Structure formats: structure tokens, C-alpha cells
Amino acid sequence: MGMGTEMCTNEEIIRDCLDLFRNTEGNCVDVPGIGETVLFDEPIFGFASADDGLFETFRRKEVIGANYFGPYEWLPEAKSVVALFLPFSEAVRKSNKEDKTDPSKEWLYARIEGQEFISRYTAAIRNHFEEKGIKACVPALDERFDVKIENTIKDLRPDFHADSRWSERHAAYACGLGTFGLSRGLITEKGMAGRFASVIVSAEFEPTPRKYNGIDDYCIKCGVCAKNCPAKAISLKHGKNNLKCHLHVQKMKKKYSPRYGCGKCQVGVPCEFRSPVQK
């Protein structure tokens, strides 16, 4: 397989990325009134070919939209997409179960400072690939990254979604990491409470087999996420009302700025830290 100046396997890259995870600063933060808190457990990884037809289907309006860039638009030399899921630590997950309406301090820090850590971590992964002579692009860190949302709240439909230039969840789905749940989060073998990231590379890796056929195969439709949702934005009958969710998160942002979040649909549910259908 064409790997630039170096040859490496999926297992070698995962090993290297785990080493980078352990050595990147910012995964342990001092939460006021709480103390030192580890934000993420070690990530899991999935791989997909850049020419996988799924990436083209993501352009459809009902999926992501016309604003979406495929792997080749981010990196003309693209051969593979590497996706990763970083599970929130037990301390972060447990804390967010205590209040039924507002996010915990730990969850707020995991959402914002946690994303800052992910940015440093994925930049380190990109640099590691480039040191091996492999071209790499992290869409979330690229200046071309963009998210389009309707101009005003009054224009938003209950089923609106952001027309994003790239979607970490959809990349993870293509890379075999999991399927969507009723809350529209992605359920992995390590659950859905966590964050996703991805890197597009000019190296060819063995695609991770997708152990599913449908977009929601790992969701057991138990309805616990709907019960937990403080915005009443999820129902078994109608799915997710993105507008209600959006408005609630905006309310939390106003209350806790510069941090924000919710995550009640990701904790206290069968898919919090595992897939309820996988053994």
C-alpha cells in the first residue's frame, strides 16, 4: 500500500496515536470546586477508504447537505479516513447524572476544554503522519471548515440540521465505529458519551468492517434518552426535534458562558458507555 516514505499498519498507527493521546497536555483539568478531573478515556479508532461511496451520499440534503466536502476536497491525495471516538471518563459521565436539567461542571469542562484538548491531539496526529511523509488534513482544524445554519431562530424548522462542511459522527459511521441513536448521537462499542474526531490521510489503510447495515442498528429504541431530555426534544414516535435541542443548548450557553452543553441524552442510558446490542 502506498504510504509515502514510511510503511505502517492500522495497528501501528493506533499504537502511535494512543502514545500521542497519553502525551498530549490538557486531558486533565482543574474544575473549580471539584479538583483535577480526567476528561477522556483512551480513544477507539476506525478506518475507511476515501473513495467509500458513503462519503458521497453525505452530500444529500436529508443527510448533511450541499455544503459538505468529501475526503478528496479536503485532501486531493486522500486514500483513507481515520476516525476516533474519545469516551468521556466515568467521573464526567457520573457527574452529569446528578442534575436533571443543567449540565455538571465536569461536563461543561469536558465539552469545551475537552474540545481544546482534542484540537491539540488531532494536530499532533496530523504532524505525526506528516513526519512519516504522509499528507494529512484535520477538517475541524482547517480554515475551510464551516457550518451553515438558517439566519434566524424563527426560520428554523423542528427538523433543521446544520449544513456542515464535515461531520465527525458521519465520518465515524463510515469508519465502522457505530450507528446513530434516537438522540442522533453515534453509539459505539464504548457507548455514545464522548467526542469524535477524524483525520484524512494520503496513506492507504485497511478499512474497518462495518458490523451494521442500517443507520440505527445499535439503537434499541428504549426511549430512556427521550425521558432524560430536559428540552423534551426526543420522542419514540417523532425522533429528535433539533430546534428544541438547539434552543435548550443556547439557554445553557447564556447561563454558563463561555461554556455550554447538556448531554442528558448520553448519560443514564443503556448506550452511555457501551453498545446495548454488541456482546
C-beta of residue 75 within 8 angstroms of C-beta of residue 117: no
Residue 47's beta-bridge partner residues?
82
Question: Is residue 4 a part of any domain in this protein?
Answer: no
Question: What mean pLDDT value characterizes the chain?
Answer: 92
Q: Specify the amino acid at residue 276.
A: P
Residue 278 lies in a domain: no
- Cell 449540565 belongs to 103
Average confidence (pLDDT) over 90-117:
97
Lowest mean pLDDT among 141-150, 171-180, 228-237, 257-266: 141-150
**pTM, full prediction:** 0.93
In a domain, 25, yes or no: yes
Residue 57 lies in a domain: yes
273 falls within a domain: no
Residue 272 lies in a domain: no
In a domain, 276, yes or no: no
Examine residue 237 and state whether it is found in any structural domain, yes or no. Answer: yes
Please name every residue paired with 36 in a beta bridge, in sequence order, or none if there are none.
30
Domain extent, residue 81, equals 10-266
Closest CA to 206 of 29, 80, 52, 33: 80
- Please tell me the total count of domains within the chain: 1
Tell me the C-alpha distance between 181 and 173, whole Å: 12
